[in-house]
Structure 1
Amino acid sequence: MDLWKARIVAIEAAEAAGTLLRRGACGRFDVREKGAADVLTSLDLESERVIVERIRAGYPRHRIISEELGVIDGDDAWSWVIDPLDGTNNLAIGLPVYGIGLALCHDGVPMLGVIHDPVSDRTWSAIRGRGAWISRNRALSRPADRRRRRPLLAWSQGYAVSPDDPMASALRLLLERMAGRVLQLWAPLTYWVMLARGDIDGIVGYRIGEVDLHAGVVIAREVGIDIRDLSGAPFEERLGDMSETRSLVAGPEDVVDRLLRLGPPAERLRTRLADLWTAERAVAHAPEPPDWR
């Protein structure tokens, strides 16, 4: 398998879809509810069609996993993971923060990642063990160590995380106290590019999805970013079952170490919040007191 050729095919597919999104965002497009706190637009589907057609033309036997179409059967040894529009909610309200991500996995291991930003018309890519690039051939090097006293962090969570999830709430509260700023942009691919460039210092992802994960992980790894799960163990990069169960911290090693130290206090705070919300629900559902008048 020629990964250099696959990288170009993926870049061209992402950039073609990006042109479509950039033009479409200036006009009218359909928006409908997809689930809790999530929407689907006609641009998602048009972008997906463009990307899938190009990948199918180049690699007709490969399996494709795409956000809206689901699984398109093929050779399980090689799987493309496609997010045709990461940040749909942003685009739907006119916020120009969204992207396109493609990853190619071999036996579940991400080997190639491409992220395209349609707004700036820039593309980042990486091949596992061979480097990372911006545009076609400009090397993307390890970001400079800025050593901020209060790091600039990004928070990402899966759509299945409920508003009263005590661990999510505990982590966000502690991150707000630690960080100079916590970004919550609902565009994880944008976070990975910002981290790889050094614009932000770290990412905390809680019960995150798969389609907007692997392209960013490949790029981040190739510029020396440390990625671990919340226990501190190395993050399992292999393609999963699409269930939003994995969590991570990512950044330079010293930032990751600081983030992992939040684990014990987050667990204690989680317990207190869970008790508080249990009591709150009990009060909310208690019967009305009798009227003794």
Structure 2
Amino acid sequence: MIELAISAAKEAGKILLENFGKIEQVDRKGERELVSNVDLASEKKIIDMIKSKYPDHDILCEESGLQERASDYRWIIDPMDGTHNYIYGINMFGVSIALEYKGEIILGVINLPYSNELYWAEKGKGAYFNDERIYVSKRGMKNALAIYDSGLYKETTHRTGFLANIVGKIFNIRVFGASTRHLTYVARGSADLQIEYGDKPWDFAAGGLLVEEAGGKITQLDGSKWNIYVESYISSNGVFHDEIVDLYKNYAEQSLKDQ
């Protein structure tokens, strides 16, 4: 199954690369969400490849939604993560494919085609980047590079308020506009912490497994166990994860008092 996921991610990545800078059609699917003809072509390629080998499997996609066949297996697909980057000519975008078995993510593949980066992981078998085993960093909070994406939603003030609480406790902060990029940076040790708001299952199902298999940690903001249905989460190298969770809890508690 991992071979199929890798092949599908590569083929979808070719579609993204071939059309980068040549977007013909962009539609709105929400107040701040865009979808292009390339998203749809990439998604169709992945679905067709999966259906040709596993026609009875369930499929959950960003654009076409859930195709349910009462299977224990469900593929979770983001045919183009970082759509806004892609549409605006920013080269940080990727393909994410995960496979869930009885509610547990058992494999994940991320292809970042512009930079020729392929990541994959299987449950209990480690995480890999272009055939090399990868591990999270061992840096502590003081020297940490963090990725913080609050999204542009109604709750933005609350979310950026928490950022102000940690900015003086870490080394630096970045935002790249694509969960696939954020999670792979944590998994390979380029970043030490990621705080993400407003994600969907297809955004981080594969990347969450990558982080765990690379030795990192991912939880909900309050430290409880993550699952693909939570929209906000913390991923990290695990070294100072609990400290970040405590900071968030204290901030959330104080925010309630101040209301």
Q: TM-score, normalised by structure 1?
A: 0.81
CA contact (8 A) 2:58 2:67 kept: yes
Residue 281 (structure 1) aligns with: none
Please say if 1:19 is aligned against 2:17.
no
The one-letter amino acid paired with 2:240 is V
Alignment map for 1:22-171 (pairs within 5 Å)? 22-135=17-130, 138-147=131-140, 149-157=142-150, 161-162=153-154, 164-171=155-162
Please say if 1:185 is aligned against 2:176.
yes
Deviation at 1:165, TM superposition (A): 4.4
Instruction: Work out which of the two has the higher radius of gyration on C-alpha atoms and give 1 or 2.
Output: 1
CA distance in 2, matches of 1:52, 1:265: 44
Alignment map for 1:231-246 (pairs within 5 Å)? 231-233=222-224, 235-237=225-227, 239-240=228-229, 245-246=230-231
Q: For residues 158 and 211 of structure 1, do their structure 2 counterparts lie closer, same or farther at Cα, with a shift above 3 Å needed?
A: farther
CA contact (8 A) 2:21 2:87 kept: no
Q: Deviation per CA, 1:227-280, whole angstroms, max 9, x where unpaired?
A: 2222223x233x44xxxx4432121222212312312441255347x74xxxxx
Alignment map for 1:247-258 (pairs within 5 Å)? 247-258=232-243
Q: For residues 166 and 26 of structure 1, do their structure 2 counterparts lie closer, same or farther at Cα, with a shift above 3 Å needed?
A: closer
The one-letter amino acid paired with 2:175 is Q
Residue 204 (structure 2) aligns with: 213
Deviation at 1:92, TM superposition (A): 0.9
Please say if 1:198 is aligned against 2:217.
no
CA distance in 1, matches of 2:125, 2:84: 34
Q: Deviation per CA, 1:112-163, whole angstroms, max 9, x where unpaired?
A: 100000111221101001222223xx2423234244624211123467x42x
CA distance in 1, matches of 2:34, 2:75: 23
CA contact (8 A) 1:169 1:270 kept: no
CA distance in 2, matches of 1:219, 1:35: 29
Residue 5 (structure 2) aligns with: 10
CA contact (8 A) 2:6 2:109 kept: yes
Aligned residues: 259
CA distance in 2, matches of 1:218, 1:76: 21
SS at match of 2:243: helix
CA distance in 1, matches of 2:105, 2:202: 12
CA distance in 2, matches of 1:37, 1:183: 21
Comparing 119-128 and 143-152, the one that deviates more: 143-152
1:259 to 225, 244, 247: 244
Q: Deviation per CA, 1:165-189, whole angstroms, max 9, x where unpaired?
A: 4431322222333333222222011
SS at match of 1:169: helix
CA contact (8 A) 1:156 1:208 kept: no
CA contact (8 A) 1:195 1:201 kept: yes
Q: TM-score, normalised by structure 2?
A: 0.91
Structure 2 gaps, min length 5: none
SS at match of 2:22: coil
CA contact (8 A) 1:170 1:269 kept: no
CA distance in 2, matches of 1:179, 1:146: 11
Q: Deviation per CA, 1:183-231, whole angstroms, max 9, x where unpaired?
A: 2222011111111111101111234321111101111111110122222
